[in-house]
Amino acid sequence: MLKLDIILLYVEDDNDIAVEVMDFLKHRVRELHFAKNGEEGLDIYKHSHPDMIITDIQMPVMNGLDMIQRIREDNNEIPIIITSAHNDCHFLLESINMGVDGYLLKPLDLEQMIAKIHKLAEPMNMKKHIRQLNNKLIKTNANLEAKIAKAVQAHTDSLIKENETMQKLAFYDSLTTLPNRAFIYEVLERKIQRAKRNNDIFALFFIDADNFKQINDSYGHNTGDDVLKEFALRLQQSIRKSDYVGRLGGDEFILIAEDVENTQAVITLAEKICEQINQPFQINDTYVDISCSIGISCFPEDAEDMSELIKDADMAMYSVKKKNKDGVAFYRDMKEN
């Protein structure tokens, strides 16, 4: 097996994963170094000068993001690949901003790993080769520079597309393009922490489309998907710039309403949403009537942690469902009753 002519640093704190990956890579690269945390990885980077780095995100002593930040202060060009579990998606945006060159989801596909290594090594080795030729062939410098520019541009375009895909996969719902469950939970947790520091209040809306199953049954899932996309669009058009809306899944949505001065402001926003949703939906040649049920919980009056806040809003929404649907209910009113 022909080894790839690079020095590779691999950083991973899970011993079982590390053993499997190291055994796979040692036959495929010229030189392989291993570290079990970011601190060790940074030390090896300084002494071994690797050509490429593959690192996990969450590790003891020093995590992968801190190590990447330190390395990027020294070297902006070395290719870095991160390995990430699905529940690490809230770290991915930060790693993008640090200039990582790719990512691999766990459990790791080793063939996909070596393919990505080859993809990143190709322009890197091309640069090395061109620099060597440039020292010998000064007269052909113009042509060589053109090749460098073309290779770098192609690589940059590829990274831009890959980073865009990474962001969409990690943070956005593919059907509605709204923030997905993981991202909206991350935003909500940050809102709660900020509200605690600043003594702010905000409202959480749990919004559910009424009788959505009947739409799927009557018109088919394609029409149902189009209804959900229009539903999401109307939610976005109904809210203020300070509000934040996302899709939990199915026909369930969450809205974080900040800067609510009083109960009437919350009611006004909810009524505006209901009014928008109640307008007939035209999907191709089909007109569909739909409404929504909204449950509202308030921070910090009803709850001061994310799970309880969501549960309270969900309960309030189901109280609307049990009645005639198409309405709004506050969790505080359920407590009083």
Range(s) for CATH 3.30.70.270 in the chain? 181-336
- Which pLDDT value is given to residue 1? 64
- Which pLDDT value is given to residue 81? 93
- Which pLDDT value is given to residue 234? 94
Taking the CA atoms of 175, 172, 53 and 100 in sequence, report the sign of the dihedral they define. positive
* Alpha helix ranges (H) inside 3-51: 15-25, 38-48
Range(s) for CATH 3.40.50.2300 in the chain? 4-165
Find where tokens 């996302």 sit: 246
- Which pLDDT value is given to residue 312? 95
Torsion angle of the four alpha carbons 55, 58, 60, 62, in this order, in degrees rounded to the nearest 10:
60
- Which pLDDT value is given to residue 90? 64
Identify the CATH assignment for 181-336 out of 3.40.50.720, 3.30.70.270, 3.40.50.300, 3.30.70.3450: 3.30.70.270
Question: What does the alpha-carbon distance between residue 26 and residue 324 come to, in Å, rounded to a whole number?
Answer: 65
- Which pLDDT value is given to residue 45? 96
Angle between helices 64-74 and 38-48 (to 10 degrees): 30
What the block records as the tokens of 154 is 């192609």
Amino acid identity at 245? V
Q: pTM for the whole thing?
A: 0.53
What the block records as the tokens of 275 is 């009014």
Question: What does the alpha-carbon distance between residue 318 and residue 295 come to, in Å, rounded to a whole number?
Answer: 7
Question: What does the alpha-carbon distance between residue 284 and residue 241 come to, in Å, rounded to a whole number?
Answer: 30
Please report which helix (H) or strand (E) contains residue 7, including its range.
strand 4-11
Burial readout 190-221 (b: 16 or more C-beta within 10 A, e: otherwise): ebbeebeeeeebbbbbbbbbbebeebbeebee
**112 exposed, middle or buried (CB, 10 Å; 0-12, 13-18, 19+)?**
exposed
- Which pLDDT value is given to residue 84? 82
What is the third-level CATH fold of 4-165?
Rossmann fold (3.40.50)
The mean pLDDT values, 10 residues at a time, for the chain of 337 residues are: 88 95 94 96 95 92 92 91 74 71 88 92 77 71 70 67 60 89 92 91 95 90 93 92 91 90 88 93 89 94 93 94 89 76
Taking only the tens place, the pLDDT of each residue in 77-118 is: 899 999 987 666 666 667 667 778 888 888 999 999 999 999
